[in-house]
Amino acid sequence: DAKTTQPPSMDCAEGRAANLPCNHSTISGNEYVYWYRQIHSQGPQYIIHGLKNNETNEMASLIITEDRKSSTLILPHATLRDTAVYYCIVRASGGSYIPTFGRGTSLIVHP
């Protein structure tokens, strides 16, 4: 199972871009990179996922390196409501592989 490594905590000024890194050096060819976040007292929420191409949606952008060993989640204009724990996980397509969430990165957005 591919494991992920994230910094335990980061902080960002409101209105600036928040760039959250994730290392997944043992990722295999059929594993997708998923990002979730968990705001205090709520369940985790899906943000975005990708295989090899960069992805963007209304919440964030996902940049995956060419060798797929690492990725970065970008919140282009962080707000106070983006303060949360962000989890980077890898999931295989099909099969019975269930991802583990790990500890994630605690992002604090300050005024």
Binding residues for other proteins, rule: CB under 8 A, are: 32, 34, 36, 38, 41-46, 49, 87, 91-98, 100-103
Give least dist CB 18 to other proteins, A: 20
Nearer to other proteins, 94 or 111 (CB): 94
Q: Write down the least CB distance from residue 3 to other proteins, Å.
A: 14
- Which DSSP state fits 51? S
Report the residue number, 49 or 108, with the smaller CB distance to other proteins.
49
Task: Output 16 or 73, the one with its CB closest to other proteins.
Answer: 73
CB 97 within 8 A of CB 91: yes
Tokens of 57: 């949606």
Rounded CA gap, 54 and 51, in Å? 8
- Count the alpha carbons within 13 Å of 70 in the hemisphere toward its beta carbon: 9
Least Cβ distance, residue 101 to other proteins (angstroms): 4
With beta carbons less than 8 A apart as the criterion, state whether 62 and 50 touch: yes
Closer to other proteins by Cβ: residue 53 or 93:
93
